Amino acid sequence: MPIRRKSDDERKRKRAPKNQDTPLVEEKPLLQEIIQLNDDFREFSHISSFLAHALAASLEAHQWLDNDVISGGRLCSNLLQKRTSKLRDEMRHVTERYIDEHEEKA
């Protein structure tokens, strides 16, 4: 199936979610969406970090658990923290690059 390019009008508007009866709404400028995405990810990152630490502490407190379960929980906790950190750095890089490219044009 061929990919259809959106017209300018289609790119400027966004359909309301199907469960709402609201009409089409204007999209935010891309920079605002990037900033909002960064803010949302920062919030997710903090929650993820809290849960990873809580999981690791909980597993450590329950020494009666199988060592493989404790090790696996620690491993998952560490991987989640590392991946979240890497994604945060990538998002920061993309945002900075977008801002730099658009400042050059201005």
- The per-residue pLDDT for range 16-60, each reduced to its tens digit, is 455 555 555 567 888 888 888 888 998 998 898 888 888 888 877
pLDDT recorded at residue 29: 84
Greatest CA separation for the chain = 63
User: Does residue 4 fall inside a structural domain?
Assistant: no
* Beta carbons of 47 and 65 less than 8 angstroms apart: no
More confident residue, 20 or 63: 63
The pLDDT tens digits for 75-95 are: 888 898 899 889 989 988 988
User: Does residue 6 fall inside a structural domain?
Assistant: no
Taking the model in full, what pTM does it have?
Answer: 0.58
Distance CA 38, CA 62 (A): 36
Structural domains of the chain, count: 1
Which residue segment(s) compose the domain that 38 sits in?
26-105
User: Does residue 19 fall inside a structural domain?
Assistant: no
User: Does residue 58 fall inside a structural domain?
Assistant: yes
**pLDDT band with cut points at 50, 70 and 90 for residue 6:** low
User: Does residue 52 fall inside a structural domain?
Assistant: yes
Residue 13 DSSP SS3? strand
pLDDT recorded at residue 1: 44
DSSP state of 14: E
User: Does residue 64 fall inside a structural domain?
Assistant: yes
Place of tokens 């044009």: 105
User: Does residue 77 fall inside a structural domain?
Assistant: yes
User: Does residue 3 fall inside a structural domain?
Assistant: no
Distance CA 10, CA 50 (A): 40
